[in-house]
Every structure is written in C-alpha cells, then in structure tokens.
Amino acid sequence: MTTEIWLDTDPGFDDWMAWALLQAEPGLRLAGVSVVAGNAPLRHTLANALRIQTLHGWTTPVHAGCERPLVQAPVTAQDVLGESAMATTGRSLPPAQAQAAPGHGVQALIDAARARPGQLTLLALGPLTNVATAFDAAPDLPALLQAIVLMGGSTDRGNTTAVAEFNIHADPEAAARVFGAGVPLVMFGLNVCRQVLVGDEHVRAVRALGTERAELFADHLDAYVGIARRRGAAHMAVYDPTPVAWLARPELFSVAPAHVDVELEGRLTRGMTVCEFRVPARARPNARVAMAADGPAVMAWALQGLARALA
Ligand code: RIB
Ligand code: CA
C-alpha cells in the first residue's frame, strides 16, 4: 500500500537526508513540498530545496511557504548550521535550475488535501508555521488529513533551550495550534532522535557508493557530523530522517499515546512540549510519541535508501 505524503520542510541538511529517503522508499509517494523558514530564513531554505531538487532531478512541485512565525520574531539555527544552513566540507549543491512552483505553500497544501480527502499524510520537518496557517485558512483541513508525522519537541531535554526543541521553539503558537487540531499525530522528538546516530563510519559508507551525488552528499554529511565533533562527540543525532524511517519501518520503533501541550508562557520553558502519558486517566490523548528506536537498524535502512537516492 502506498502512503501519499506532503512534505513541509526547512532544508537543512537533515531535511535533505529525510527527503532523499522519502523519494527512495517504494511505499511512499511524494505529492508536494512546502518550504518554511526555520533553519535559515526562507530565501535560504527555499534556495536549498530548489538546489536539492536540481541535484536529484526530482519534479515534485516545491512551493514557498511562510517566512516568519505566527507571533514571535524569527529565530534560526544559523549559529549552528551556518549562514545557508547547508554547510559542507567540500562540494556544494548545484545552482537551482527550477523555480518554485506557483502559489503559496499553504494554499498548495490545502488544495492537495482537498483533492485527496483522507489520503494525505503530512510530514512536517520544520517549524509548524505553514501547517498552522493552513489550519487557520481552511477549517476543513484537519479532517481531510490522514495523519501528521512530525519531527519536533522532546519528552526530556531540549536543544535550543534546556527544554525546547528548535522546530517548536521557532514557532510555539503554531505548534500549539497543530497539536490541538485533532489530527492523528505522531511526534518524533529529540528523545528518540538521539537514539539514531550518524558518524564518520556513515560518511565513509556514503562515499563508498562511488557516485558524484554520493560524494557531494558525503561532504555535507561530514559537515553535519562536524557539529558533534566540535562538541567533543563522535556521533550526531539524526533528526528529520527518523519519522521517515518510521513511515517505512514502523517495527523499528515503539510509540506511546500521550497528551502533548506546548508551553507558551513560561519564562524558561516557552516552546517545551509537555507530554502527559497518563492517558486517558489524566488527559485525552492527542498524539502518539515515539519513545524508542533501534538506531543501528534505522541507519542500516537509511544507507540502503541513500544508495538508491544517490545513484
Ligand atoms: O531540532 C532539530 C530540527 O530543527 C530539525 O528539523 C532540523 O532540521 C531543524 O529544523
Ligand atoms: Ca528540519
């Protein structure tokens, strides 16, 4: 059975890895892409998306989405990921040969869901600004989606603050809107992504594929692992590919029902995903939260997918 996917993304290297694995997975079909500001301003994330599309020769329409959060001032991850959020230790993505598809990414998502009621799974890998804006513009949208599968939040430590993960921290109001929309939702937070690790051995394995695309991807993977190296660690958590792995190999994960709320007021806790697992006794469940992953098996799956995507 094929799962129809709408990808909302803020490329970012790990978004690129997730997109490539999605394209390479036989049971997943990409209906469209909306780009959001996040890792870097929209001008960078959109340019990265169009350059990724050009490198791979993909033809799925890529739409520009929202360039600023619902309420707060924009924040980015450029301090960690560099100006373009696409750091490399060598080769760079080619210049884009395609333009963004006509129409705003929010309207494109709404139109795609209305064209296939109940058939579309939304894979959200960046701040949830596009998704929340779509829900506000189209009150019928939540009921039209089969599910939302997202990388964001955490059941424990944050990465941007002590308790907030970047995608949620970048637009907490949007995240609160999405978790409260009543769509079946699966959350892949930092807690589970930190069980899926990538290191020099994976850089070597990608280079061993022997193609120009693989060398170019490996240069970016090397820079991504470099984030961990600079912190004295040998491995970096793999974020955005993790929900794609679940879509393809759910048996490699365990998930638990929970009620997830997003803190909006706390001076120290704004952007925290507060996960109540005592459901339904203490709260109505509104999500399934990924709690465990077989990290080595996920990376073995990922290397097989990258071999197809980078051929
Ligand atoms: O916290 C990790 C998330 O923030 C990932 O989606 C990464 O691409 C950045 O958007
Ligand atoms: Ca992302």
- Per-residue HEC secondary structure of the chain comes to CCEEEEEEECCCHHHHHHHHHHHHCCCEEEEEEEECCCCCCHHHHHHHHHHHHHHHCCCCCEEECCCCCCCCCCCCCHHHHCCCCCCCCCCCCCCCCCCCCCCCHHHHHHHHHHHCCCCEEEEECCCCHHHHHHHHHCCCHHHHEEEEEEECCCCCCCCCCCCECHHHHCCHHHHHHHHCCCCCEEEECHHHHCCCEEEHHHHHHHHCCCCHHHHHHHHHHHHHHHHHHCCCCCEEECCCHHHHHHHHCHHHEEEEEEEEEECCCCCCCCCEEEEECCCCCCCCCCEEEEEEECHHHHHHHHHHHHHHHCC
- How far is ligand 2, taken at its centre, from the CA of residue 261, in Å? 20
pTM of this prediction? 0.98
Which residue among 8, 16, 39 is best mutated to probe the pocket of ligand 1, counting the most ligand atoms within 8 A of its Cβ? 39
Point out the ligand 1 atom lying closest to the alpha carbon of residue 39: 10
Among the bound ligands, the one closest to the CA of 40:
1
| Ordered per-residue pLDDT tens for the chain, 311 residues | 899 999 999 999 999 999 999 999 999 999 999 999 999 999 999 999 999 999 999 999 999 999 999 999 999 999 999 999 999 999 999 999 989 999 999 999 999 999 999 999 999 999 999 999 999 999 999 999 999 999 999 999 999 999 999 999 999 999 999 999 999 999 999 999 999 999 999 999 999 999 999 999 999 999 999 999 999 999 999 999 999 999 999 999 999 999 999 999 999 999 999 999 999 999 999 999 999 999 999 999 999 999 999 99
- How far is ligand 1, taken at its centre, from the CA of residue 281, in Å? 32
Which residue among 78, 125, 187 is best mutated to probe the pocket of ligand 1, counting the most ligand atoms within 8 A of its Cβ? 125
- How far is ligand 1, taken at its centre, from the CA of residue 22, in Å? 17
